[in-house]
Amino acid sequence: MTLSPLFGAAALSAFGLWDWITIAGYFGVLLAIAWWVVLQKNHTSGDYFLAGKNAGWFVIGASLFASNIGSEHLVGLAGTGARDGMAMAHYELHAWCLLVLGWVMVPFYQRSCVYTMPEFLERRYCPAARWFLSLFSLVAYVFTKISVTLFAGGVVFKALFPIEIIAGIDNFWFGACFMVILTGLYTIAGGLRAVLYTEAIQTVVLLVGALAVLLIGLQHVGGWDRLRELCQDAPRMGLAGITSSDGSIITVLRPTQEKLDFFNLWKPNSHPSYPWLGLLVGAPIVGLWYWCTDQYIVQRTLAAKDQTQARRGTLFGAYLKLFPVFLFIIPGMVAYAIAASGDSRMFTVLEEGGANEAFPLMVKHILPIGVRGLVIGGLLAALMSSLASVFNSCSTLFTIDIYKKIVPDASERQLVWVGRVATGAMVLLGLLWIPFVILLMNGSLYNYLQSVQSYIGPPIAAVFFLGILSRRVNAAGCMAGLGVGFVLGAGRLILEILSKGDGPVAQGILGCAPLAWFATTNFTFMAIYLTLIVSAVIFLVSYMTPKPSEEKIRGLTFGGRSKDQIAETRAGWNWLDVVASVGLILCILCVYVYFTGNIFHH
């Protein structure tokens, strides 16, 4: 089967008129909704930061999905699909972590009436824990969410618009700055309510658009069976130069010695990026931190009317979370299959771009006019939704956990104003960190994100879950665990940066066995080690110091709940919620079974 080249004259032509009309119309609707929300006014901090605590399950679930599905998925997941196939799908199958949020954590968060996750730690442990997590989270958002989203926005702009929009300015930086300005306008003005309602619309458009990319891509490559033929038990293609009859060098695609196993979720334990044991044990630790304790995600459930709406929102979001496996990873595999079928220029772009351009290239060169514009609008809007979410979370953390502590008598108007101002500094720091993202990501944006989160997530997950599960864990144990976890995580990140390259510092680190092990051990295993060490420190210090008072743990641990609190939680769910939860687990197991091969003997 011969495929039409993606890089012909038609493919490289400018977008059609209907594409531009579709993009303009989509953004017009989006901004109209944002403006309508802004006109509703945000008179109090509760309105601005928690949308008046009146959100229903559909808006919460859609917002959870849209907040999560951003740069690292549109750019990073398709990139990993083009490079390694289904291996990174493990992280998308962590949809079950949302069940833990809805069934286990939400009742504690709801009854504590907190605005932020650091505020919850203060109630469970001490004020120092709140300060630590607030500052730690703000710094972590720069290293992960803000910088990654801005980087991905630049990648998308450069792939979709290769000709400079403004002379002398690379489209990568133009795209990153454009998203910051446009997203900041409605986020700063409308707060969480603007974020929630715009994300609900973005979710629908994103799902429809990504489905179009998947279906048209499969049709282009020759169907599902042809995709399996090219991406499973076949030699990986590579670029090679041959000499033509006139003596010139022609670049062609040739099979290599490496065998593909794109359809297998499990890689050998010796795999440098995706060892199966690390993904099975270490990756869920990061998932539980992200979905159950991170302000960026949990803030949506705090805006719910009650426990029932919050729990059902997490259920809806969990089902939506299953779609990225098919809507982003598989299109990346389709991009590789198209390249491997003979399109050497497509292959060259994927190789040189670290495969991060797979999804935007699919959008640009395969979709028909009109549909292409809709998908591009959804793609850019999804990037904006991630920015909007992290902006609002950062402003909430800074205003409620830091500014309000320093200025306890601040008026509601002052709090809203400070929340708007706080976004600017975070954006600037995110732009400054982008060069380090480029250095660390090693060809895959999603790899970079998951590796950094594997260093910062374990200590936070440990103090939250152990604090709820154990009545004996106290403030001293919490602070010791956070401190040790921070030192080890920061140390790993610094050593990983310094070990890159061939300089004397890198050689010195790699020449010392303990430092080399600490700097290069796979990030999934590092998450396991950090969790075990931090948990041991928390328990050891807690049992060496006085236990917390009954007043401190009342309602905030399983053993500290009253009968009325237990009854309130039980009244918040029925058999439909249970059936929906079991159905989600079965769906996840089916995906695991379908994409599992004989790899464990490695």
pLDDT of 99 = 95
pLDDT for the residue 52: 54
The CATH topology of domain 9-34+56-594 is Sodium/glucose cotransporter (1.20.1730)
244 has a pLDDT exceeding 70: no
For residue 600, what pLDDT band results from cuts at 50, 70 and 90?
very low
Q: Identify the three-state secondary structure at position 172.
A: helix
- Considering the chain, what is the average pLDDT of its residues? 79
Note the pLDDT tens digit of each residue in 285-322.
Answer: 999 999 999 888 888 888 888 899 999 999 999 999 99
Per-residue pLDDT for 390 more than 80? Answer: no
The phi and psi torsions of 538 (rounded to 5 degrees) equal -60, -50
Q: Tell me the Cα Rg of the chain.
A: 24
The count of other CB atoms within 10 Å of the CB of residue 447 is 23
Q: Say which residue, 335 or 491, is predicted with more confidence.
A: 491
- Are the C-beta atoms of 572 and 311 separated by less than 8 Å? yes
3-state secondary structure 185-203: HHHHHHHHHHHHHHHHHHH
| pLDDT reported for residue 527 | 93
By C-alpha distance, which of 425, 117, 438, 108 is closest to 289? 117
Q: What is the pTM of this model?
A: 0.81
- H-state helical runs in 40-170: 45-50, 57-68, 71, 78-84, 89-92, 96-100, 106-112, 117-124, 127-141, 147-160
Model pLDDT for residues 134-156, shown as the tens digit of each residue: 888 887 777 777 777 777 777 76
pLDDT at 199 over 90: no
| Helix pair angle (358-366, 371-396), 10° resolution | 150
pLDDT at residue number 585 = 96
pLDDT of residue 284: 93
Higher pLDDT, 221 or 205: 221
Which of the two residues, 408 and 341, has the higher pLDDT score?
408
Q: Residue 474 pLDDT > 90, yes or no?
A: yes
**Roughly how many angstroms between the first and final C-alpha of the chain, as a whole number?**
35
According to the model, what pLDDT value does residue 463 have? 96
| 129 vs 48 pLDDT, higher one | 129
Q: Dmax of the chain from CA atoms?
A: 87
What residue segments make up the domains of the chain, in order of their start?
9-34+56-594
Confidence band for 444, pLDDT divided at 50, 70 and 90:
low
69-88: pLDDT as tens digits: 765 566 677 777 887 888 88
Residue 431 to residue 444: CA distance in whole angstroms: 19
pLDDT at residue 561 in the model: 86
CB-based burial of residue 114 (10 Å sphere; 0-12 exposed, 13-18 middle, 19+ buried)? Answer: buried
Average pLDDT over residues 560-577: 89
Answer yes or no: are the C-beta atoms of 305 and 55 closer than 8 Å: yes
Structure tokens at 474: 């106290």
Stretch 219-226: mean pLDDT: 87
User: What is the secondary structure of 397-455 as a DSSP string?
Assistant: IIIIIIIHHHSTT--HHHHHHHHHHHHHHHHHHHHHHHHHHHHHSTT-HHHHHHHHHHH
* Residue 351 in this model has a pLDDT that exceeds 50: yes
Does the pLDDT value for residue 208 go beyond 50?
A: yes
Structure confidence at residue 10 as a pLDDT band (50, 70, 90): very low
Confidence class for position 14, pLDDT limits 50, 70, 90: very low
Q: What are phi and psi of 596, to 5 degrees?
A: -110, 135
- Higher model confidence: residue 480 or residue 63? 480
Please determine, for residue 255, whether its predicted confidence score (pLDDT) is greater than 70: no
| Identity at 435, one-letter amino acid code | P
Burial 389-398, CB ≥16 within 10 A → b, else e:
bbbbbbbbbb
Tens-digit pLDDT profile for residues 520-543? 898 899 999 999 999 999 999 999
- pLDDT for residue 35: 74
The per-residue pLDDT for 240 is 59
What confidence category does residue 437 fall into, taking pLDDT thresholds of 50, 70 and 90? low
Place 396 in a pLDDT band, splitting at 50, 70 and 90: confident
Give 168 or 336, the one with higher predicted confidence. 336
The pLDDT value recorded for residue 124 is: 93
Q: Which two tokens stand for residue 321?
A: 């979370």
pLDDT tens-digit readout, 83-140: 788 888 888 899 999 999 999 999 999 888 888 899 999 999 999 999 999 888 887 7
In Å, how far are 162, 227, 372, 378, 601 from 23, measured between CA atoms? 18, 31, 9, 9, 50
d(CA 578, CA 583): 9
